[in-house]
Structure 1
Amino acid sequence: MKAASKSDGEPTPSEPDQETDDDVSVDSLPGIEDAGSDTEPLELDDVFHVLQNERRRNVLRYLDDVDDVIEMRDMAVQIAAWENDTTVQRLHSDQRQRVYIALYQSHLPKLDDLGLIDYNKPRGYVEPRPRLDRVQRYLNPEPSTESAPAETAATSAENERRETFLKTAGGAGLLVAAGWAGLLTPLLSGLSVATVVLAIFVGTVAYAYRSELVPSSAEN
């Protein structure tokens, strides 16, 4: 006896065809269409529109290391865990559902329209396209090295000033110690030693002050 079918208007998910998931190839999936050439330039306004939304940024984050077809359900679960700062195992059903609906109705269709992903809405499959890399590089920019030479020069100058100051202070300290011990008595009086130490101190301070002014003048 033939099994009773559902009433009109309530098709089961498997009714469109009898293929199992294992038999389905990406090329045969309905809804997977060419949304534009992968070499076609992407407008900056579109890039901004994609990146301004946190949930879409999380989609890019999830797809960062993906090269094959994934199930949208798995993506929604992981993104929900990120957004709620928890693990997949601790998610509540309403948290999963909230993210799933938003991805299904809005975010994934938008990314598909821009040619960043292939989104099979009826079956819930998502596949990244090469154009996605053009947006992800804005999400994860490489560290800039333009300021490295200036920072290196500033660090070297600072180290040089510090070394000069320490050497001068050490020399002055030795001179004072020698004066107190009487080793310099035949050559210099106590007043002379104090004068020499004071001159060294003033010279060191003047050098440090000038060294601070030079970088500031160059920057302005």
Structure 2
Amino acid sequence: MKAASKSDGEPTPSEPDQETDDDVSVDSLPGIEDAGSDTEPLELDDVFHVLQNERRRNVLRYLDDVDDVIEMRDMAVQIAAWENDTTVQRLHSDQRQRVYIALYQSHLPKLDDLGLIDYNKPRGYVEPRPRLDRVQRYLNPEPSTESAPAATAATSAENERRETFLKTAGGAGLLVAAGWAGLLTPLLSGLSVATVVLAIFVGTVAYAYRSELVPSSAEN
């Protein structure tokens, strides 16, 4: 979990004064109150509106592992570092300021209006609300396993056919090599060896072709 901490540097003129109370809790923050809208449905249009903006997506990314009150200042610094592909230590003040102003004036109030966060604008505190998870699941969707059994069965059948083909081809190759080396001359003539190899090859191809046309029971 990300802990609230002060970032380096003096506040810029456009940043509101922020107090440094210890042991910050929701109950002690004016403007952050328990609301009964956490169970209300979230419109899909609102979800799209939140996710279509990269900076709001970065807010969700920052809050992903947060379950306590954080300082908006720290969020702005980290998001600015992400957007500029740099570290917090190398971040320029103007880069941080652009993100801070946008979060302060637009993005965080919007998320607060939707009931996704509790945003205390005068003091610069942010706390995620339970319904934020409903949006974050679209940002980090879990891989679907609905068709996994069928895909596994099909892959298993394909591997079985491939293994059979390779074993048969290998056996035919050994017969050809033995015929060339004269090891089978006492038993089979060259024509007989060629006939056996051809029969094995034709049978293998026919088996593979039939397996493609008639799926096994595992693939049905």
Deviates more, 1:178-187 or 1:3-12: 3-12
In structure 2, runs of 5+ residues without a counterpart are none
TM-score (ref. length: structure 1): 0.82
Please tell me whether the aligned partners of residues 70 and 127 of structure 2 are also in contact (alpha carbons under 8 angstroms). Answer: yes
Displacement, 1:27?
2.6
Larger Rg: 1
The corresponding residue for 2:93 is 93
Please tell me whether the aligned partners of residues 2 and 65 of structure 2 are also in contact (alpha carbons under 8 angstroms). Answer: no
Structure number with the bigger relative contact order (C-alpha 8 A, sep ≥ 6) is 2
Identity level (%): 100
Please tell me whether the aligned partners of residues 35 and 113 of structure 1 are also in contact (alpha carbons under 8 angstroms). Answer: no
Provide the C-alpha distance between the structure 1 equivalents of 2:164 and 2:21, rounded to a whole number of angstroms.
74
Please tell me whether the aligned partners of residues 7 and 73 of structure 2 are also in contact (alpha carbons under 8 angstroms). Answer: no
Displacement, 1:25?
4.6
Please tell me whether the aligned partners of residues 35 and 114 of structure 1 are also in contact (alpha carbons under 8 angstroms). Answer: no
Displacement, 1:102?
0.6
Are the structure 2 counterparts of residues 97 and 107 from structure 1 closer, same or farther at C-alpha, using a change threshold of 3 Å?
A: same
Deviates more, 1:5-14 or 1:117-126: 5-14
Displacement, 1:133?
1.2
Provide the C-alpha distance between the structure 2 equivalents of 1:170 and 1:198, rounded to a whole number of angstroms.
13
Displacement, 1:30?
3.0
**Greater percentage in helix:** 1
Please tell me whether the aligned partners of residues 115 and 131 of structure 2 are also in contact (alpha carbons under 8 angstroms). Answer: yes
Deviates more, 1:4-13 or 1:89-98: 4-13
Provide the C-alpha distance between the structure 2 equivalents of 1:49 and 1:173, rounded to a whole number of angstroms.
64
TM-score (ref. length: structure 2): 0.82
Please tell me whether the aligned partners of residues 35 and 112 of structure 1 are also in contact (alpha carbons under 8 angstroms). Answer: no
Please tell me whether the aligned partners of residues 4 and 74 of structure 2 are also in contact (alpha carbons under 8 angstroms). Answer: no
Provide the C-alpha distance between the structure 2 equivalents of 1:2 and 1:151, rounded to a whole number of angstroms.
40
Displacement, 1:210?
3.5
Provide the C-alpha distance between the structure 2 equivalents of 1:199 and 1:108, rounded to a whole number of angstroms.
74
Deviates more, 1:180-189 or 1:93-102: 180-189
The number of equivalent residue pairs is 220
Deviates more, 1:82-91 or 1:143-152: 143-152
RMSD (CA atoms)? 7.8
Please tell me whether the aligned partners of residues 26 and 33 of structure 2 are also in contact (alpha carbons under 8 angstroms). Answer: no
Displacement, 1:143?
1.4
Please tell me whether the aligned partners of residues 77 and 88 of structure 1 are also in contact (alpha carbons under 8 angstroms). Answer: yes
Are the structure 2 counterparts of residues 29 and 6 from structure 1 closer, same or farther at C-alpha, using a change threshold of 3 Å?
A: closer
Displacement, 1:42?
1.1
Displacement, 1:33?
3.9
